[in-house]
Every structure is written in C-alpha cells, then in structure tokens.
Structure 1
C-alpha cells in the first residue's frame, strides 16, 4: 500500500527545521535592529552636549554646530557607497564593522574633549558607522521580510529609538554624572560591545540575494522619486536640526544651569513623538504617501513655530515647536522609505535609500548655516527660520506640480 504524500496535507515535512529557521530569522532581525539602534545612539548622543561645550569649554556657536555637522562628512560617502559594499561583500561584514566604528567615534570624542580636531575625527567615524547601519541594515531587514512596509517601518523605528535614547541618556549624564564629557561616551561604548556580540553571532545573510555589480541593471529611477521623495528628504533631519540644535539655544539663558538636561529633554520629546508617529503609519501605498505629505506639512508648521519661539523666547513655544517638528520628522522619514520600497526598480533600493538619507542629513547643516548667517551678516534667527519654512513649502509644492504636469502630458 502506498504511503500518503506528506505534501498533500499542506504541512511542512520538517516542522522542526522550519521552526529553527524561523527562530534564526527572528534572532537575525533582532540583531540587525540592535546594530541600527546602537549606531543611531552614537550619532545623536553629541547633540544635547552642544550647550555644555559652548558654555563650559568655551567653544563658539559656529564651532559646536560644525562638530554637530562633522559626522555628516563621514556619513554621506558611507551612505553612497554602503549598498555597493553590501553587493560585493554581503551584508554580514559591513554590519559587523559598523558597530566598532561607532564605538571608536565615541572614544575619540571623549579623549579629545579639549581638541576640536580629534573630536571632528571621532564624529566622522560615527558618521561612517551610521551610514553603514542605515543602508546595509535597511537592506538586511528588507531581505528578511516578506510583508510590504514592515522593513522600512522597522528601520525607521530602530533608528529613531536609538536617536532618542542616545540623546536622552547623554543629556542626563552630562547634567548630573561626573565627567560629563566622558560618561555619555563610555555608556555608548559599552552598548556597542553588546551590539557587536549580537550581530557577530547572527547570520544576516539575505533571503533574497543582492545582485552583484556585474548583473545589476541600471534602470532609471522613477520620476515620482525625483519629484516627490527627493524634495521631501532634506527636511527629514532638517526638522531635527532645528528641534534640538537651534531651539535650546533660544532659551538657554532661562534654564538656570539645566541647559544640558533641557536639550536632552527636547531630543527625547521630538524623537519620542516621531517614534510613535512611525508606529502608527500603515503599510499600504496610500497611507505611506500620506505620511510623507503630512510630515512635510508638519515640518513647515514646526519651523514657523520655531520662528515664533525665536521672536518670543518662550520655553513653552520651544517645547511645542520641538513636538511638531518631531512628528513631522517621523512621518516624513517613514513615508520616504516606504516610497523607496514601493517605487524601486530591481537592484536600485539601496541607491534610492542612500540618496534619501544623504539629502536628509544635509538638513543637519541648517544650524551651521543659521549660525554663520547670524554671525557674518547679523541675520536674525526668526527671519532665517521663516525663509527655511518657505523653502520647504516651495520645493515640495513645485515637485508635486511638476509631477502633475508630466503625468498630464504623458496621458
């Protein structure tokens, strides 16, 4: 008598093996999210310390904002090249490298607290690590997920939670712990050790193989990406640059020695609200597109509120502006990443994601630009922020209008 066919039952012939594969995949997912979390922590832990370096170390406003922007110098090349590195070397190697690089950045900043050049080098190392974590980590999550929208949302939430917790812990340690220029970076280095162990013990090899360079088809990127996503990207981290590099300095004289704690609080508030906003973004195309549009509108509204705060020097207006900017950041980031996943031709997701992050991080140059305009031409913060809001509204409206005209001509 013939034995019944196992396949006909619709069950796995080896449920134990399937369970083991699922467990390994869950462990890998956790390890990748953890790596993204710790490199994001390192990227943002410096932000609440700006006021401390300005008041206690005697650094100028331009100097501290330049150090804030310094990691973008390492970040942008890393974002542009990381997906190619993953195609050649696989995902595991770059991720294993990213976490120690982030720890090295913390060590250099802590050791060089009186040496801006050494701090600049440390911030650059942090930026390189963050770029690898963003792009390669995102590609790894995408390769592990079969549910549309899950990977972009997990990527955005891992980064946002790392940004938030790093800033909050750093601000608290700088305010109340001994050795405020060292303690935050020691904590991050310890977290990097844990993250390195997790990622080294996992096997983040993609379920869907990345195309090698020789086989990658250079498909042109969609017009919708250029006209809708690209104009929104610079305001992702531009919103955060305003929220916790410009707003705290507006009311610094009213904080009675609690400037570091207040800066950390603004970081936690804006990023925490951004994290919650990302948590509730749907995975459908319609809702992800709406997230980007609503996010940009909120960034404009938050920038206008920041201009009002600069004019009134009100602590409560500063808090309100940071809250709106944080939600705008969260929605714009996850909306742009979801649009990249939806629009990307075969083999181009890494390129599109890298460009979004590159343009996004250029927004962190806003505090430096505003400080330079104020110092060189005596242009007030209020007037500059009003111009920033107008630029955000104009660029995104122009992109949407051009896309509408292009579509009408094609039809």
Structure 2
C-alpha cells in the first residue's frame, strides 16, 4: 500500500510536474491540426483521419484506469516519470507514420496510454505538492499543452519542409527540457509494508473498487458534466475545419482554430474559480450553457459555410471546455479519499476523453443526417443535461441543509461527508 510521505513544503516542486503534463498534453494533441494534411498526403478515406484521432481514447482508458490506482499504490514518480519519457518515443512513432500509415494508429493508441498514466498520476502529484492551487495548476498546464501543441505543429507544417516529420520536432525538444527536472521532485506517496490485517483490509477495499465512484455526487453531478468536456470543443477544431474549409493557409487555419479553442478554455478557468468560490455548481451550469450555445453556433457555421463563425464557435466551445474541466477536477478532489485521489481522477478523465470520438461519430452520422441537424440535437442534449444537473444540485443542497440542522440528540456529520454530498 502507498501511504503519504512527510508533507513537502508548500508549493515544493510542483512546476516541473506541471511542465511534464504540459509536454504530454502537447504530444497528445499535436496530431489534431494535421488531420487534413494526412488526408491529402496519404490519401486516407472518409473518416480515417478522424478514426486516428479517436483511437487515442482507446489507449487513454487503460492508461488512466491502470495508471491512476497504480500511482495511489506505488507512488507518483514510478508512474508519471517513466510514461513521460515514453511520450517522446510515441512522437517518434508518429513521425515514422508518414511512410507506414498503420504506425499512426499505433502511435495514437500509445499516445493515449501515455497521456492517461501521466495525467492521472501527475494531477494527484501536483495536488499533493500544492493542495490549495494544485487542481488549477494542472488544468492550466494540460490546457496550455493541448492548445499550443496543435498550433505550433500546424505553423511548422504550413511552412517547413517535410511537414509530417518536422511538425513533431518541437515536442521532442519540450520533453528533453521538461523531463530531467521532474526527477528531482519529491515523492508524495511512498509504498510501505503493513501488517497482514492491514493488507487484508486494503485488499478488500481494492476488490470493492473506488468508493468515490459510488458517491452520489460523482454519478449525479460529475459524470454527466465530464462527458461534455471534450465532446464539444473537438467538434470546433477537428470537425468544422474539414466541413467549412479555407483555401488559403488551410493547415495554419486548422491549427489556429485548435489553439483558439483551447486558449479560450484557459481564459475561462480563472472565471471558473471565481464562480466556484460562490458555488461549484455555478461552474457546471456556465460550462454546459456555453457548450449548448457553442454547438448551435457550430450548426450555424455549417449552414452558412462561413469560416469566421468557426472561430466564434471555437471561443464559446472552448470556454465551455474550460468551465467543465475545472469543475470536474475540483469536485473529484473534494470527494476522493486520500488513498484514491489518482484513481478517481483517472475515472473522471476517462469520462472526459470519451468525447474524443465525437468527430468520428459525427462524420459517420453526417453521411445519413445533415451535420447541422446533428449539432443542433447535441446542443439540445447539452441543454437537457444542464437542466438535470441543476435539479440534482437543488436536491443535494436541500439534503446538505438538512444535515447542517440536526434534530435534537443527533450529532453533526463530519465536514468531509457534507462536502461529498454537495
């Protein structure tokens, strides 16, 4: 079992870990703005590039599911650092994909595994190094990597020779600079042996699964929001540029839309923190509302064929992404037990990345149903989710008030229990 080591000094060493998460996020998303170029250069069929984009999520799930609990048990360093090193090797596989397209599927799958392990372990690591602002730091680092990666790779691919190779070189440089300092960061969870009774107790807990997943707050107000985190913004940068293209500098345009989407997500996160100070559910409502409006703008973009509307939709959808990502990570940190923080974070990230399949699903549906109609239906679904979460919030708030006003002879419940019910 992994137990907490002596608490490090406040803010000790969080920046190197946030930096490798930035680098891994860069590597995970640098492929996004190259979808059109791959389709043209490698003569891929309809939906093949979107399938390469989405297969990343297939690797991400085992990376999260195995990496999160493993880091809870064996420590953060043993998971985050080796997989961060592997991120560079995955990029080399993608570079080789220009000569063997099947390597692109393999590279994207491996990128998912690597990203899942680093995000699960790294998020918990930073949270333990700097408890007050750790969630915000990781959300900003990941968002910055997701946005900068496709933007820079697109700019390199637009003007550099051999674009499907040179576009990946910046990521190799970033990992070379960020990984070595991370090896000097102190561990926050150290494996320790316990007596047989304790081991048996932990084994029983392990068989029962993560308690946080069974928490009503996770099922009712985290999971329904988390699934929208990427489902909406990837529609802006992995789908709309293909359906509403530009003829001048198309690669740079695709990268610019991706960067704009995720930069808007970063800009929304400080606003999300202010809303969170009033009530965490305000962040969820703002996020789902932005996503519903952004999907309607996406449908309007398809209907009019105006690329400028793609940029507007990207800003609104990106803001929604920033809100719901901040909300999800913050709520998970509140309800997770100390020995399952990374594991529950991994489950939340798995829900988040289900949305990476959205471009592939929408591309397939667009062959039978007008894409504008599909996007409008998604907007209605996001609005319905907003209503559902709002109702769940009112119910949980009433329950919270009842427990804060115990009847005579009843003890006041534990503060953590009340927080979990929220």
- Is this a same-fold pair by TM over 0.5? yes
**Aligned equivalent of 1:372:** 364
Measure, in 2, the Cα distance between the counterparts of 1:164 and 1:204. 29
User: Which structure 1 residue ranges, 5 or more long, are not aligned?
Assistant: 1-20
Measure, in 1, the Cα distance between the counterparts of 2:235 and 2:25. 18
Structure 1 residue 41 displacement after superposition: 0.2
**Aligned equivalent of 1:240:** 233
Structure 1 residue 204 displacement after superposition: 3.6
Structure 1 residue 391 displacement after superposition: 1.8
Structure 1 residue 277 displacement after superposition: 1.3
Please tell me whether the aligned partners of residues 104 and 122 of structure 1 are also in contact (alpha carbons under 8 angstroms): no
**Aligned equivalent of 2:64:** 79
Structure 1 residue 404 displacement after superposition: 4.4
Structure 1 residue 44 displacement after superposition: 0.6
Relative to structure 1, the CA distance from residue 326 to residue 215 in structure 2 (aligned partners, 3 Å threshold; closer, same or farther) is farther
The residue matched to 2:272 in structure 1 has which SS? coil
Please tell me whether the aligned partners of residues 292 and 379 of structure 2 are also in contact (alpha carbons under 8 angstroms): yes
Measure, in 1, the Cα distance between the counterparts of 2:80 and 2:331. 24
**Aligned equivalent of 1:276:** 267
Which residue of the other structure, out of 176, 183, 195, is the alignment partner of 2:159?
176
**Aligned equivalent of 2:334:** 342
Please tell me whether the aligned partners of residues 305 and 321 of structure 1 are also in contact (alpha carbons under 8 angstroms): yes
**Aligned equivalent of 1:18:** none
Please tell me whether the aligned partners of residues 240 and 364 of structure 1 are also in contact (alpha carbons under 8 angstroms): no
**Aligned equivalent of 1:117:** 102
Measure, in 2, the Cα distance between the counterparts of 1:34 and 1:327. 23
Relative to structure 1, the CA distance from residue 386 to residue 398 in structure 2 (aligned partners, 3 Å threshold; closer, same or farther) is same
Relative to structure 1, the CA distance from residue 208 to residue 97 in structure 2 (aligned partners, 3 Å threshold; closer, same or farther) is closer
After superposing the two structures, state which structure 1 stretch, 329-338 or 94-103, moved more: 94-103
1:388-410 alpha-carbon deviations (Å, 9 max, x no partner): 11222223423443564577699
Structure 1 residue 307 displacement after superposition: 0.4
Structure 1 residue 186 displacement after superposition: 2.0
- The TM-score with structure 2 as length reference comes to 0.84
The residue matched to 2:23 in structure 1 has which SS? helix
Please tell me whether the aligned partners of residues 51 and 249 of structure 1 are also in contact (alpha carbons under 8 angstroms): yes
Asked if 1:393 corresponds to 2:378, the answer is no
Which residue of the other structure, out of 85, 99, 104, is the alignment partner of 1:100?
85
Measure, in 1, the Cα distance between the counterparts of 2:91 and 2:199. 34
Structure 1 residue 208 displacement after superposition: 12
User: Which structure 2 residue ranges, 5 or more long, are not aligned?
Assistant: 1-7, 403-422
Asked if 1:189 corresponds to 2:181, the answer is no
Relative to structure 1, the CA distance from residue 175 to residue 213 in structure 2 (aligned partners, 3 Å threshold; closer, same or farther) is farther
Please tell me whether the aligned partners of residues 45 and 166 of structure 1 are also in contact (alpha carbons under 8 angstroms): yes
The residue matched to 2:106 in structure 1 has which SS? helix
Relative to structure 1, the CA distance from residue 68 to residue 224 in structure 2 (aligned partners, 3 Å threshold; closer, same or farther) is same
Structure 1 residue 262 displacement after superposition: 0.4
Asked if 1:134 corresponds to 2:119, the answer is yes
Measure, in 2, the Cα distance between the counterparts of 1:287 and 1:152. 16
Number of equivalent positions:
383
Measure, in 1, the Cα distance between the counterparts of 2:74 and 2:303. 52
- What's the C-alpha RMSD, in Å, of the aligned pairs? 2.5
The residue matched to 1:348 in structure 2 has which SS? helix
Measure, in 1, the Cα distance between the counterparts of 2:163 and 2:231. 27
Measure, in 2, the Cα distance between the counterparts of 1:277 and 1:213. 44
After superposing the two structures, state which structure 1 stretch, 182-191 or 162-171, moved more: 182-191
Which residue of the other structure, out of 223, 232, 235, is the alignment partner of 1:230?
223
Measure, in 1, the Cα distance between the counterparts of 2:216 and 2:238. 34
Measure, in 2, the Cα distance between the counterparts of 1:309 and 1:127. 30
Structure 1 residue 73 displacement after superposition: 1.1
Relative to structure 1, the CA distance from residue 224 to residue 205 in structure 2 (aligned partners, 3 Å threshold; closer, same or farther) is closer
